[in-house]
Homo-oligomer: A and B are copies of this chain.
């Protein structure tokens, strides 16, 4: 059940707690780029004692150890993503969905030559997603 996440936390020398395991598992199994509030609401179902501060603390430590990444695409709140291979993101301005875009960053090479130490690469595209531009229903009901 949690072996994978126990291993990940041990490898990063992060103290293992049920909360951290649940949060890491949730992010691995829900690739929806949830906010802290969304993670909190989902996990509170099975753990009513969960505190939102714990979710904030936990995503911070997971972030600092590189197990997850934060996504700033929306500009109004931070979203989190289990770290699986390099990919970019597309934000639909109509339905709000954030879609994974599986491309590499061809600029990384030239970035390495310009003297800055690059630790993170984020590619964000914004517009209207395939579904919405076909006129299908979306969460805004428009």
Contacts and interface: CB of A to CB of B under 8 A. Distances in A.
A22 to B, nearest CB: 24
Interface of A: 70, 72-75, 78, 88, 90, 92-93, 99, 101, 103, 105-107, 110-111, 114-130, 133
Contacts of A74: 72
Contact of A130 (B88, B115, B119): B115
> Which of A78, A115, A120 is the most central at the interface, judged by chain B CB atoms within 10 Å of its CB?
A120
Contacts of A110: 103
Contacts of A72: 72-75, 124
Tallying the copies of this chain within the complex gives 2
Given A75-B72, A75-B78, A107-B103, A126 B133 contact: no
Given A90-B116, A99-B116, A117-B133, A123 B122 contact: yes
Contacts of A119: 93, 126-128
Contact of A120 (B78, B103, B125): B125
B124 A124 contact: yes
A97 to B, nearest CB: 10
A120 B115 CA distance: 27
Nearest to A99: B116
A88 B90 CA distance: 16
Contact of A107 (B78, B99, B106): B106
Most buried by B among A90, A116, A124: A116
